Structure 1
Amino acid sequence: MKSKQKSINILSHLNKQNTKKIPKLAIGDTVNLKVKIKEGNRVRLQAYEGTIIAQRKAGVSTTITVRKTFQGVGVERVFPVYSPQITEIQVLRHAFVRRSKLYYLRNRRGKAARLRMRLNG
């Protein structure tokens, strides 16, 4: 029993130690992520802008699923929020949603995929 308690203490200590400051993220927010991309021997920053359609909260392992439409094709990527590959997270817009997962946006195109703006930030 003591070893289990000790491992929980170590994990909670690592969670506190490794967390970096990120803005408050919510489902439906439009975000702009700066992601490090390694090409050969150089590293560059790539911007990825899209809507958060899902979030999995798990301390340091927290992930968000960001969806954008590129040339008429929907593209979704799952980003670990506390990853060192993500240098910046910028929230552009907040949307008013009544769901915890916005998977229904996968079936919508154009104006039908728009979300209502949330007025109180």
Structure 2
Amino acid sequence: MLKLNTQKIINDIEIKFLKKDIPLLRIGDSVRIGVKIVEGNKERVQFYEGTIIAKKNSSVNTTITVRKVLQGIGIERVFLIHSPKVDSIQILSSAKVRRSKLYYLRNLRGKASRLKKSFK
């Protein structure tokens, strides 16, 4: 009797759904993410701009948390980067950070929340 390795089968199926054109995303990067939005029977792309404060890697379920401040209020959104709803990801700038999660930015206001730019 043939023994099936269930994890190998799952990985083989997930590989088909991974996107190939995703840039190397790092914590502290400022990104512009194009998200497909359906309004009625029309579909358009809306851009969301912000800083990556967290990243969770798990193959097809890889997510990034993007934070932006709009009119003094911080807005965070979690994106599943291999989702068909995510149209494009563009890196605008990079920052020099020493942590894997930038949750401390939630408590800072104004100029204190700026990150030091990295020139690569």
Same fold (TM over 0.5): yes
SS in 1 for 2:98: coil
1:16 aligns with 15
Q: State, as a whole percentage, how many aligned pairs show the same letter.
A: 53
1:2 aligns with 3
Number of equivalenced pairs: 118
Q: Distance in 1 between matches of 2:9 and 2:70?
A: 42
Query: What's the Cα RMSD here?
Result: 1.3
Q: Distance in 2 between matches of 1:14 and 1:52?
A: 28
Q: Return 5+ residue gaps in structure 2 as ranges.
A: none
Q: CA deviation at 1:18?
A: 1.3
TM-score (norm 1): 0.92
Point out the structure with the larger helix share: 1
1:105 aligns with 105
Q: CA deviation at 1:70?
A: 0.9
- Partner amino acid, structure 2, of 1:118: S
1:37-72, Cα deviation, whole Å (9 max, x unpaired) = 111221111000000000000000000000001111
Q: Distance in 2 between matches of 1:97 and 1:45?
A: 30
Q: Distance in 2 between matches of 1:14 and 1:54?
A: 26
1:61 aligns with 61
TM-score (norm 2): 0.93
Matched, 1:91 2:106: no
Match runs of 1:36-51 below 5 Å: 36-51=36-51
Structure 1 runs (4+) greater than 3 angstroms displaced: none
